[in-house]
Amino acid sequence: MEKRFFNDKVILHCDVNNFYASVECASRPELKGKPVAVSGNPKTRTGIILAKNDVAKSQGVKTGESIYEAKLKCPSLICLPPHFKLYEKISNKIISIYYNYTDTVESFGIDECWLDVTGSVNLFGSGKKIADSIRKEVLEKVGVTISVGVSFSKLFAKLGSDLKKPFATTVISRENFKEIVYPLPVNAVIGIGNRTLKKLEKMNVLTLGDYVQIPDLILKKKFNIVALQLKQKLLGEFEEQVVDNSLRPEVKSVGNGTTTITDITKREDVFSLVQFLSEKISKRLSDKNLVGTSVHVSLKTSNFERFGKSQTFLFDLSRAEDIANCALEIIDCFWNYTTPIRSIRISVRNLKSKLRPKQASIFDEKLGKKESFSRTIKAIKERFGEGSIELASVLKSKFINKDGE
């Protein structure tokens, strides 16, 4: 029986095993028992493994490697393109199951969630019993497996879900957390990146047990306050709240980016890609009834160098034409169109509700016609699909990867 200390929370971290691949296999029974991976398209230079099922994993297939490398290990590997709308639908279905057990659910990506079930133990039993019930219900109703960590903290709950996969429950309690957690490698927790890891290795800090021995002053001096907070979490002294999805801050930006099929240098090609991305951003802004006043553009070169610049404008942005023109204006300010561009990302920021009263510009006599044109384009796409109408420059383009984000 789990021993619970006074005032301790009961927190679960639920992680869907091999999410993309699991969803594909659950929706296509003929894939059962076969090695399956969700991957990019080799022809569009996004040919890497995004997710794999356990059969593929057992044959050495790894996330992040190229399809070519994966098929050398597993010639029978079935590679499927990603279906993000399906994944979002399944994610929402799983989250709705979580809400049957608690009203406090915090998403961490599309396939992971923290649940605060402190107030539910009297109704459903211990944290482990709740975790086991959730695992069973998700498998029966959705057809995918999840691993669950149970603990008094978010950090340890997340560690627990990582320790045993697939379809397992791991309890990390006040009584056993040092025994389970401290022997783990120092990069087993969120927040220890490669740069920090290298610094810690030079200090001979290899495990999480080593990490908690670092004096506070050294952590502050060599790293930052976040590093000190991590130590407090690992000592079980730092209480971090689970924040329900409905209480999350409002969206701060809406963006879209893609990798080109071939490198581009010509200004007209860059503008075609900017128009393509702006159409997608405009639709998302419209769906959320948002407008913005700032645009950020990020470019990645063929040498994988990144460049970016932001600019704030004196008018609201939501129409694709306006977003595209502003983005190109920003690019013209800092780019010479000689270095080959591999990818572009655009985001609209400083968002606010479109429903607020707006001051019309006396300089834009064609505003009404433009708004009408935008509404017509949107209506056509909603009725006949996203690809039913496109700008001529986009249709002619041979370098735009139309499967961008």
> Of 92, 206, 83, 177, whose CA–CA distance to 142 is shortest?
92
d(CA 119, CA 103): 9
d(CA 113, CA 25): 22
Task: Answer yes or no: are the C-beta atoms of 238 and 232 closer than 8 Å.
Answer: yes
Element (H, E) at 89: helix 84-98
Q: Characterise 169 by phi-psi region: left (phi > 0), alpha (psi -120 to 50), beta (else).
A: beta
Looking at the chain, how many residues does it have?
405
User: For the CA atoms of the chain, what is the radius of gyration?
Assistant: 25
112 labelled catalytic: yes
* Phi and psi angles of residue 391, each rounded to the nearest 5 degrees, phi first: -65, 145
Between helix 320-334 and helix 267-287 the angle, nearest 10°, is: 140
Question: Which residues are within 8 A (CB) of 302 and not within 5 positions of it... i.e. 6 or more apart?
Answer: 263, 339, 340, 341, 342
> Of 17, 66, 59, 51, whose CA–CA distance to 34 is shortest?
59
Task: Answer yes or no: are the C-beta atoms of 139 and 26 closer than 8 Å.
Answer: no
> Of 126, 405, 379, 142, whose CA–CA distance to 259 is shortest?
405
d(CA 78, CA 337): 40
Q: Which of 112, 250, 305, 386 is catalytic?
A: 112
Element (H, E) at 197: helix 194-202
Q: Tally DSSP H helices, then E strands, for the chain.
A: 16, 13
Q: Which residues pair with 341 in a beta bridge?
A: 264, 301
For the annotated catalytic residues, the residue numbers are 112
